[in-house]
Amino acid sequence: MSASDETHDPNRRDFLYIATGMAGVVGAASVAWPFIDQMRPDASTLALASVEVDVSSLTPGMSLTVKWRGKPVFIRNRTPEEVKAAQDVKLEDLKDPLARNANLGSDATAADIDRSAGKGKENWLVMIGVCTHLGCIPLGQQGEYGGWFCPCHGSVYDTAGRIRQGPAPENMAVPVFSFISDTKIRVG
Amino acid sequence: MSEGHSTYSPKTGLGRWFDARMPLPRLVYDSFVAYPVPRNLNYMWTFGGILSIMLVSQIITGIVLAMHYVSDTSLAFGSVEKIMRDVNSGWLLRYMHSNGASFFFIAVYLHIFRGLYYGSYKAPRELLWVLGCIIYLLMMATGFMGYVLPWGQMSFWGATVITGFFTAIPLVGDWIQQLLLGGFAVDNPTLNRFFALHYLLPFMIAGVVVLHVWALHVTGQNNPTGIEVKSKTDTVAFTPYATIKDAFAMVVFLLVFAYFIFYMPNYLGHPDNYTVADPLKTPAHIVPEWYFLPFYAILRAVTFNIGPIDSKLGGVLAMFGAIAMLFILPWLDTSKVRSAVYRPWYKLFFWLFAANAIFLGWLGSKPAEGWYIPAMQISTLFYFAFFLVVLPVLGLIETPRRLPNSITEAVLEKNKAGSGHPAGAAAAPETKG
Ligand code: HEM
Ligand code: FES
């Protein structure tokens, strides 16, 4: 190769060089993708199940936990005192002012009514029982606010499952759910 | 330190035949027999060898365990119990492996603190240091995934919390977490991939160890004075001097290791991990393995939002940042003097740092409540201040003590200051000549 080769018009070797390079890059990327893609949740995991729960036996002050998509869902029939305590909290005092309720718009505020099952069903609280910090399951009716306390890193939730203290950033999530009769809830 | 030319001369015909075709014996001879090491190395320099045998031990016991272990959520816990009760000598192999991980970390921490004290990370050994940090990171990943395999309560909840770190990343966090878990929660796909990776990573560690030793043999070892080797009298041959010292230290280390295996095999573990994983019940108090505790304390120290960064992301950033400090350490220390022996202020701060690290570890084992939280915050602050303030500033304002002209001079000076009886020369070969 003489120095003057470099100033030549693109020749056959340049073309092969660029074409091979391009094929290599595209090839490497398309081979890499399935190796990453296989890591994602598979079809059986994604198959969206919904669960129906009979809540007729829950008197005020009782809760139950059901497993939905591998995660626990807390269903609690709150006592009037708990509802009152949650309603009395001012929005400004909340660390996370949003409802995080999948049944409402994403801008709904964390007022107690929008955390609960809604008008007439304010006593019902249905939420995914997973701490929004790093995923532990909080313990019920514990902590300073009589709501939930996460033993892992000390997040404290109130009786509406709203984060009040500790490292967790968000209120516990309310999943899609509905009352299919007065005593039956469908989650999902 | 590479002398440039090799002194190997094969004595047998077979040796010469090999040497002309693939000079592996020459490489071994030059690296582990004739290789010159500083004559003043102390026992803190024996942990490299100890780490190598611990890696081999983990790989051998691990492969044997893998012959009996089943990575399925419904069978994993039972298969480990079977190893403990039914497999011949299974209890011993498992205790060697689980305690082996702890002893691996004990050795690596002593090895790292040795480097900190004697300034082994400074030029020209930056790359050597960074390669060491990569090994440490890979060890943490391996240890974490190994701990998930027995599928006990701590396995499950440890995995939940640690993969939860990734959900702190804005926008793509949840997607990354699902990619790691293969689902919405820790489950069978998670266990399977962790087993595959737990099998793979130790071999990657072995690969990086080769690079680490290669880099070491280019720059040569540091030594307690931190002064570079200047002449032949500063060094002794690796064999027999370093070989025998390393071997003796290994025997002592392995005796302590054996004591744990036979007399207190579960002392470093957590009883909750003998309860099978329950995805619906978090243990009252979850803690990672002891070797992660200082970082766990740093994670939990951030309980407040910092501007746009919420407390969760803040905690995760602080924790990864704490490890990142080790990587950039060579460029933070402004002092030209390596060894703490000649740096009175650095020596003080080094010991404060070491005490603080142990205190952080202790805090990491405590629940996040009461006075522990402010203590974690103050300790975390000191941890970062050591790297980001103390190291850069000390190098500029500290007056080091007078450095000896050479390793030989330092050794002879020390010898004179000591008893000075001639019999000492035989007992302490490093002072000979
Ligand atoms: C860097 C080296 C390694 C480290 C630090 C390490 C660490 C660990 C840890 C901490 C555990 C949990 C022990 C327990 O509490 O039961 C474990 C389990 C396990 N490891 Fe490793 N390991 C290493 C190498 C290997 C290798 C090379 C294999 C080969 C396949 C392996 C296979 C296993 C198996 C099958 C288990 C589950 C059985 C049990 O829990 O005892 N490990 N490992
Ligand atoms: S996971 Fe609940 S506080 Fe960390």
pLDDT given for residue B418 in this prediction: 60
* Short-list B384, B403, B397, B411, CA closest to B119: B403
Question: Which segments of A95-149 does DSSP mark as H helices, in order?
Answer: 112-115
Give the gap in angstroms from C-alpha B28 to the nearest C-alpha of chain A: 38
Residue B88, Cβ density class (10 Å: 0-12 exposed, 13-18 middle, ≥19 buried)? exposed
- B188 at A interface, C-beta within 8 A: no
Strand locations in B78-214, DSSP E? none
Mean pLDDT score of chain B? 92
Nearest by CB: B184 against A71, A132, A169: A71
- Does a cis peptide bond (omega within 30 degrees of 0) precede residue B240? yes
For A56, A72, A147, A170, the CA distances from A185, given in Å and listed in that order, are 10, 15, 22, 24
Active site residue A133: no
Asked if A154 lies within 8 A of B368 by C-beta distance, the reply is: yes
Ligand 2 mean position to B298 CA, how many Å?
14
- Cα-based distances in Å from B237 to A10, B125, B221, B242, B414: 58, 21, 13, 7, 21
**The pLDDT value given to residue B4:** 54
Q: Do A134 and B368 touch (CB under 8 A)?
A: no
Tokens of B360: 């952080």
Two tokens, residue B276: 């099978």
Q: How many other C-beta atoms can be found within 10 angstroms of the C-beta atom of residue B356?
A: 20
Catalytic residue among A8, A67, A84, A153: A153
User: Tell me: the pLDDT tens digits for B182-199?
Assistant: 988 899 999 999 999 999
Q: Coil, strand, or helix at residue A119?
A: coil
Q: CA B6, CA B242: separation in Å to the nearest integer? A: 19
Query: Which atom of ligand 1 has the smallest separation from the CA of B269?
Result: 15
Q: Are B429 and B370 in contact (CB under 8 A)?
A: no
Q: Which residue type sits at A119?
A: K
Beta strand A124-128 pairing with A139-140: unpaired
Q: Peptide bond preceding B36: is omega within 30 degrees of 0, i.e. cis? A: no
| A22 CB-near residues (< 8 Å, 6+ apart) | none
CA pair distance B304, B376, nearest whole angstrom: 13
Report how far ligand 2's centroid is from the alpha carbon of B386 (Å).
28
To the nearest whole Å, the CA of B189 is away from the closest chain A CA by: 8
Ligand 2 centroid to Cα of residue B187, in Å, is: 19
8 Å CB contact between A77 and A70: no
| Contact between residue B62 and residue B196 where contact means Cβ atoms under 8 Å apart | no
Interchain CB distance below 8 Å, A39 and B187: no
- Judged by CB atoms within 8 Å, which residues 106-135 of B form the interface with A? none
Name the pLDDT band for A33 (thresholds 50, 70, 90). Answer: very high
A138 has a pLDDT exceeding 60: yes
Q: How far is A143 from chain B, CA to nearest CA, in Å?
A: 11
What's at B232, amino acid-wise? K
Going by pLDDT thresholds of 50, 70 and 90, the confidence category of residue B419 is low
**pLDDT attached to residue A5:** 53
Contacts of A116 (CB under 8 A, 6+ apart): A78, A83, A122, A123, A124, A125, A160
Give the tens place of pLDDT for each residue, B115-158.
999 999 999 999 999 999 999 999 999 999 999 999 999 999 99
Nearest chain B alpha carbon to A48 = B184
Contact B310 A169 (CB under 8 A): yes
Alpha-carbon distances, residue B395 vs B169, B333, B388 (angstroms): 36, 7, 12
SS3 B21: helix
Count, residues in chain B: 433
Distance from CA of A183 to the nearest CA of B (A): 24
Tell whether the model's pLDDT for residue B420 goes beyond 50.
no
- Residue B216, amino acid: L
User: Across B210-270, where does the E strand assignment appear?
Assistant: 235-237
Q: Whose CA is nearest to atom 1 of ligand 2?
A: A134
Q: Using 50, 70 and 90 to split pLDDT, how confident is the model at A67?
A: confident
Dihedral angle computed from the Cα positions of residues B341, B346, B351 and B353, in that order, rounded to the nearest 10 degrees: -150
- Encoded tokens for A181: 């009769």
Instruction: Say yes or no for a CB contact (<8 Å) between B182 and A154.
Output: no
* 61-100 of A, contacting B, C-beta below 8 A: 65, 67, 69-72
Is A140 strand, coil or helix?
strand
Ligand 1, CB within 6 Å, residue ranges? B 55, 58-59, 62-63, 65-66, 69, 80, 94, 97-98, 101, 104, 139, 142-143, 146-147, 149-150, 198-199, 202, 205, 269
Say how far apart CA B140 and CA B146 lie, in whole Å.
10
Query: Where does residue B18 rank: exposed (0-12), middle (13-18), buried (19+ CB within 10 A)?
Result: middle
Contact: A153, B300; criterion CB under 8 Å: yes
Of A36, A41, A169, Cβ closest to residue B183: A41
| Ligand at shortest distance from the CA of B65 | 1
Report whether A38 contacts B179 (CB < 8 A): no
Q: pLDDT digit string (tens) for B386-396?
A: 999 999 999 99
CB atoms within 10 A of CB B24: 10
* Cα A160 to Cα B422: distance, rounded to the nearest angstrom: 81
Residue A85 pLDDT greater than 80, yes or no = yes
More confident residue, B428 or A19: A19
Give the number of beta-carbon pairs within 8 Å between A and B: 99
Ligand 2 proximal residues by C-beta, below 6 Å? A 131, 133-136, 150, 152-155, 166-168
State how far the Cα of B254 lies from the Cα of B106, in Å rounded to an integer: 12
Reported as a pLDDT band with limits 50, 70 and 90, residue A8 is low
DSSP state of B428: -
**Range of lowest pLDDT (A89-98, B65-74, B255-264, B326-335):** A89-98
- CA dist., res. B73 & res. B98, Å (int): 20
Q: Are B182 and A45 within 8 A, CB to CB? A: yes
- Mean of pLDDT values over A168-180: 92
* B211, B131 contact by CB (below 8 A): yes
Distance B76 CA to ligand 1 centre (A): 13
Q: Domains (ranges, CATH) in chain B?
A: 35-277 (1.20.810.10), 287-399 (1.10.287), 403-433 (no CATH)
The pTM of this model reads: 0.87
Touching check for B193 and chain A: CB below 8 Å?
yes
- C-alpha to C-alpha distance for B291 and B361, rounded to whole angstroms: 8
**pLDDT band per the 50, 70, 90 thresholds, residue B422:** very low
